[in-house]
Amino acid sequence: MDNKQLEDFIKSIDQDLEVRIGKQFTEVIVPPAKLYSLARQLRENEEAQFDFMFNLSGVDYGHDLGVVYHLRSTVHNHSIVLKTRTSDRENPQIDSLAGIWETANLHEREVYDLLGIRFTNHPDLRRLFLDSSWGFPLRKDYVDDINIVTK
């Protein structure tokens, strides 16, 4: 599928999703409540067959925390980007996609460790790099007078 066909395919799944056709990828803005369902359909649908998650990144947008997923179909040779975000900075939660793509497991643990986003239904959500004495150092509001060197 080309980017326009991907947009039409996404709209056939859910008319309410925002789809942006970028220079490289089709981007889908997904509310957290719809993320797992959409991801499962993208993986299982024969027309799409997004069988490979090649990147998952956590993002601090300032007011919101988000996750960006890069997916690829090795069968059909097309890619798509899913973006979701939550405005709850105190208890940010997004559904885990580790049950759909195994590669999400460690990526979600990294995002949890560095940004504090909890992935519900994750099989082993625990810190990956840092111990519990650290906060979430990739947050824009993170302050650590001992470990962070500033000018």
* CATH code at position 83: 3.30.460.80
pLDDT per position as a tens digit, 10-49: 999 999 999 999 888 999 999 999 999 999 999 999 999 9
Do residues 56 and 107 lie in contact, with contact meaning Cβ atoms separated by under 8 Å? yes
Query: Does residue 80 lie in a domain region?
Result: yes
Query: Does residue 30 lie in a domain region?
Result: yes
- Rounded CA gap, 5 and 26, in Å? 10
The answer to whether residue 122 scores a pLDDT higher than 90 is yes
Which whole number is the average pLDDT over 76-94?
97
User: Residue 92: what pLDDT?
Assistant: 98
Global pTM reads 0.92
- Rounded CA gap, 107 and 54, in Å? 10
